[in-house]
Amino acid sequence: MTLKDKCILVPIALLILLSMIMVDANKESQLPIRGGCLQLSPEVPEFRLQGDAVVLRCGFLESYLQMQRFSLTEGNTIHFLRDYGNGTEVSVHTEDRVREQRHQLWFLPAQAADSGTYSCVFRNASYCCATTIALQVYETRQPHLDAISYPMFAYHGQKGKIRCYHLKEFSISGNLQWYKESTPIVFSVNRTRYRRDTNTTFTIQDVSTADEGFYTCKVQVLFNNTEYIVTRVTKLSVKAPGPRLPKENLRPKIVDPVNGTFFQSYFGSSLSILCKVSTGNQSADFTDVIWFINGLFVEESFLSGRALLGEMMVTIENGDNYIELELIILEVHEEDTRAEIKCVAQNSAGRDEVMAHVRLEDSILAWLVVAAAGTICFLTMVCVFLYQFLKPKRKSDYILARQHSTF
């Protein structure tokens, strides 16, 4: 291969490498554009009751902005638009009852007329991205309990924990009252039947089918020295222990990841961790798979708003049933390396759990891109110089005729 060929091939190879790096780095940034704004996937819809204090927050959008290194400030915030259909969106009319505050939309209290689709928009002089969130406000609890409730299940004869979900946006000003259907729950001093664990959770001992139903928590919250009511409903279903199979065939087994696995990622990038559970020849309906962060549910941990759970998938392989549940960290931070990330699979026969950890690697993408570009320019200049300096002298392709020559 000649010097000229080498000088041509080396920069071309480096350009191809640089292109591959840039394509890979921008895979996740290919988002649809509408109205000049990048459109993210819709947020999880909200189902609430009329008369309650309601907060709309676009957590996915906030996490995406963090990944793009945008900070939310008073002058650089998320604004809300009301979608009235036919592509018509207008700014939310803020008043004493409806307010934009802390990058959120507050309804104090919510009314049925507030139901609809809202757009969350972040815009500055050079950038715009948006998403949508649907809100449905019901006038009464009946017959909409299934829509507004959080599903939970417990196994017959075991413990069942009931939670009052999604209260972190509020400043609680009074005691939380629990109801089974419409009957207040009394927590006895000896804590024999219902055991109150925290202000927002309690445990039912020795669960039976009589415990099935709707559990409501009501709490007073404070906003600008005014008290409002927040209501949350949990639907508890009680499952039978399952068919009488040998115990070793009932107990779930986590096949992936292996206990103690380190998942490597870069600071600021996303990370997906899949928990795959084998339930053998038993139906997956009898097994629960849960992710915990430092012993807390994901939505209650420090990763709340920065992590989410994928859809639980059930598959069959070689006659065995498997459950897959993905934990997605939208943006990895240094503090995540110290977190205790645990996947737990449990049913009436027992439980299995594995611990996973996050390990950060130095992000070399920016340096690699700069170095590759600089190297290409440098090598191109060197090759041109060497080629001009070392190229062989070409012989003249013509002959001067002699003067006065004779033949």
The ranges assigned to domains in the chain are 1-30+246-387, 32-138, 148-239
Q: Which residues of the chain have pLDDT under 50?
A: 21-29, 244-245, 247, 363-367, 370, 395-407
pLDDT score recorded for residue 220: 93
Which one is the CATH code of 148-239: 3.40.50.620, 2.60.40.10, 3.30.70.141, 3.60.21.10? 2.60.40.10
Supply 274's token pair. 């899949």
| Residue whose C-alpha is closest to residue 275's, from 225, 217, 338, 342 | 342
- Encoded tokens for 130: 């948006």
Query: What pLDDT was estimated at residue 381?
Result: 74
Q: What pLDDT is recorded for position 317?
A: 84
Instruction: Please tell me the distance from the alpha carbon of residue 343 to that of residue 276, in angstroms, as a whole number.
Output: 9
Q: What is the pLDDT of residue 221?
A: 93
The two domains 1-30+246-387 and 32-138 share their CATH topology (first three levels equal)? yes
Residue 132 has a CB neighbour count (10 Å cut-off) of 20
Token digits for 307? 């992590």
> For the segment 289-340, what is each residue's pLDDT rounded down to a tens digit?
999 998 888 877 888 778 888 878 888 888 788 999 999 998 888 889 888 9
pLDDT at 249: 52
C-alpha distances out from residue 397 to 316, 394, 400, Å: 78, 9, 10
Task: Give dist(CA 329, CA 175) in Å, integer.
Answer: 34
Distance CA(21)–CA(74), nearest Å, equals: 36
CA-CA distance, 367 to 373, in Å (whole number)? 10
Tokens of 358: 């996050």
Nearest to 369 by CA among 30, 67, 20: 20
d(CA 63, CA 66): 5
Q: What pLDDT, on the 0 to 100 scale, is given for residue 121?
A: 92
CATH topology for 1-30+246-387?
Answer: Immunoglobulin-like (2.60.40)
pLDDT computed for residue 396 by the predictor: 45
Decide if 222 contacts 173 (C-beta within 8 A).
yes
CB 100 within 8 A of CB 94: yes
Name residue 261's amino acid.
Answer: T
Per-residue pLDDT, 219: 94
Check: CATH 2.60.40.10 for 32-138? yes
Q: What is the pLDDT of residue 247?
A: 46
Q: Is the pTM of this model over 0.95?
A: no
pLDDT of residue 307: 86
Residue 226 has a pLDDT of 92
Parallel, antiparallel, or unpaired: how do β-strands 104-107 and 54-56 relate?
A: antiparallel
How many C-beta atoms surround the C-beta of residue 251 within 10 A? 20
Residue 119 CA to residue 108 CA, distance in Å, equals 19
Rounded Cα distance between 309 and 44, Å, is 12
Supply the mean pLDDT for the chain: 80
Task: Determine the pLDDT at residue 115.
Answer: 94
What is the reported pLDDT for 405?
Answer: 42
Cα 170 to Cα 53: distance, rounded to the nearest angstrom: 9
Which pLDDT does position 318 carry in this prediction? 82
